[in-house]
Structures are given as C-alpha cells and as structure tokens.
C-alpha cells in the first residue's frame, strides 16, 4: 500500500488461491484510488512480474504519477501506472523514500553485495545516481519514512551500536543516537520530529515490554514517554503529528496515542486484525489508512480521527475482467 495524499493511493496484491494451487499466484494486481480508498480502479502492472516469488512485493509511489515496484527487479512509472519500465540496471533496491524534492534509494550495487549504497534522483526525472560522500550502510539499514528536507536512515542495532544517520537534503551526514537497545519501530512527522517505540524485554508467547520515545531535534536527543501494552510484538509505527501516533502489533491490534506516546489505548476491531497488520500510514495529520497482514481478508481500513475509531471496508473478489471495485462496509 502506498498513499501520496489523503485521496490518492495504490495497492499491490495477489489473488488469493486455494486447493492444490494455493501457493501459485496467477499474477499481481495493482489498483489505484482517488477517493481515499472507497473505490479502486485496476491499473497496469509490469508484464514480466508473474508470481509473488518474483520479488515484486512492494509498491512505493512518491507523487500521484511517479512510483516504483521494488523487489528482485525494480520498475518505474512516471504517468500514474499507465506505463512501466525496468530501471534497476544491476542495482537491487531495498528501500525508497521521498524528501527534499528527490527520491532516495538504499541499494545493493550488485546482487551479491552486502553493503547498502545511497542513490538519489529528481522526482521529475527519476534517474538514480550515487550520492557522493554518503555513508555505506550494512544490511538491515532502512529509511525512517517522513517528509520535508531531512533524510533519516536507521541501522540495525548491532551496526554502529544502533545509530540513526541524518542529512539535510543529502549533504553532510551526522550520526544520531538510537534510543532502542534492541528492536524498534520509527516514524517521522516533520523535519525534526521523530517517534520511536522500542522493545525492552521480550517474553515470548506473543508479548513484550515496550517503551515509547520522542525526539524534537532530529534524533539528537530523546525523551522517554509511556509504555504501550505488552500484548503482541512491535509492528509498523506511523505518526501524523507530535501528538498522534499509531502502533500496529504483529498479533493483531492497534495501539493509539494522542499525547506523543505518554498514554496508549487499544483501537481497531480485533476480529479483522487477527493475523496482524500489514501496513499503517498517515495520509495527513488526522487520516490513517491500514491493511491487515492476512491477505484473504481483503480488507481496507481508514480512520478520520488519528486512529481512535476505524471504518472497515471489504474488497469483493477481483475477477480479471473487472476494472473497478466498490468496497463494502463491514463495520
């Protein structure tokens, strides 16, 4: 799932199959919405992508027209998914982000390389080129999704003692301190505002102690906040403002805060989210969209109050001849 504003988003998926061919997907489907997810239109997808094993598992749009499908192969569109072309040219892209009017890519420069190299391109003409003087990152590094002019890359905790690298528009890079001693989930809502939820103690059997942190100076210093519930494991974190964050749990719940991590409440229908949350994104300060991780549910969710209350829609089955889907409310 990839939303570029409150109205326009894209969703990449595979038709659910059953029986003897349960693990042989007949091919991917890509859909676009222009009304916040109520109606979706099927749009073209690169023809050479055949199955989920082909590596085409992530769709990432940076504007309404410019987007990527990344995996073992990388495809680019600059016209809203009308046409796609392969652009990796030997690079293996593992993560993308848009900031400072450019697209930034963490890539392996060859298919057997372990280091990650930073590449960038103008959004108006995405031709990726290596960013000079940027650090080399080890496997496991990823962007902290955000917007504005700051770029954040968080390393795995065992690399650089768990550091966050920060750059203004791709210029000089500084090492910032990561608050998590082990696994954590991060989100940025502004140039200088970053939210974090860290694993403190993992108990096993689906529970762990969590701790929230917030930074208002670009990850230079962190303030300890409240403790989200212990049930479930840390999943994706999304932040729409300094106050409003939504944490997804891998065992199927949302934890929402409206006071920058000090207090948390469980939200969202547990029956829908029983298999976990696939992705959660703020499209503006108040609107949040989400999809469950268990794809046969065919469910799309949205909230108009920063994650306190959720509306659930279900996709009908997607026969190949249909080009438009009107979602049905189920709550």
pLDDT, position 268: 73
Q: Is the dihedral of CA 292, 295, 296, 300 positive or negative?
A: positive
d(CA 125, CA 247): 34
pLDDT, position 12: 87
Domains within the chain, CATH numbers bracketed: 179-331 (2.130.10.10)
d(CA 310, CA 296): 20
Residues of the chain scoring pLDDT < 70: 15-27, 48-56, 111, 157-162, 203-206, 251-252, 269-275, 294-297, 317-322, 331
pLDDT, position 114: 80
Strand partners, 146: none
pLDDT, position 320: 59
Locate 143 and state its tokens: 């962007």
The 10s digit of each residue's pLDDT in 49-74 is 654 454 557 899 999 999 998 877 78
Strand partners, 214: 195, 223
d(CA 288, CA 308): 10
pTM value surpassing 0.85: yes
């Amino acid at each position: 799932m990839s939303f570029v504003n409150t109205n326009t988003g894209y969703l990449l998926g595979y038709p659910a199959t059953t029986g003897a061919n349960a693990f042989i997907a007949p091919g991917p489907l890509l859909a676009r919405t222009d009304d916040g997810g109520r109606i979706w239109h099927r749009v073209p997808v690169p023809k050479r992508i055949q199955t989920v094993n082909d590596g085409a598992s992530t769709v990432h749009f940076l504007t309404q027209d410019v987007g990527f499908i990344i995996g073992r192969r990388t495809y680019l569109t600059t016209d809203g998914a009308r046409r796609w072309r392969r652009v990796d040219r030997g690079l293996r892209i593992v993560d993308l982000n848009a900031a400072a009017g450019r697209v930034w890519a963490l890539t392996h420069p060859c298919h057997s390389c372990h280091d990650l190299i930073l590449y960038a391109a103008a959004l108006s003409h995405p031709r990726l080129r290596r960013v000079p003087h940027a650090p080399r990152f080890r496997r496991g590094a990823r962007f902290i999704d955000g917007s504005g002019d700051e770029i954040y890359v968080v390393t795995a905790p065992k690399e650089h003692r768990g550091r966050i690298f920060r750059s203004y528009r791709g210029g000089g890079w500084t090492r910032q301190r990561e608050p998590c001693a082990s696994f954590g989930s991060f989100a940025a809502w502004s140039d200088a505002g970053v939210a974090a939820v860290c694993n403190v103690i993992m108990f096993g059997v689906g529970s762990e102690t969590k701790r929230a942190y917030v930074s208002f100076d670009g990850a230079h210093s962190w303030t300890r906040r409240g403790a989200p519930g212990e049930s479930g494991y840390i999943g994706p974190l999304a932040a729409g403002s300094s106050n409003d964050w939504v944490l997804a749990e891998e065992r199927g719940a949302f934890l929402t805060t409206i006071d920058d991590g000090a207090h948390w409440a469980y939200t969202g229908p547990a029956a829908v989210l029983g298999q976990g949350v696939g992705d959660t994104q703020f499209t503006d300060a108040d609107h949040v969209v989400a999809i469950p991780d268990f794809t046969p549910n065919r469910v799309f969710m949205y909230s108009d109050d920063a994650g306190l209350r959720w509306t659930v829609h279900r996709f009908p089955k997607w026969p190949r001849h249909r080009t438009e889907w009107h979602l049905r409310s189920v709550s």
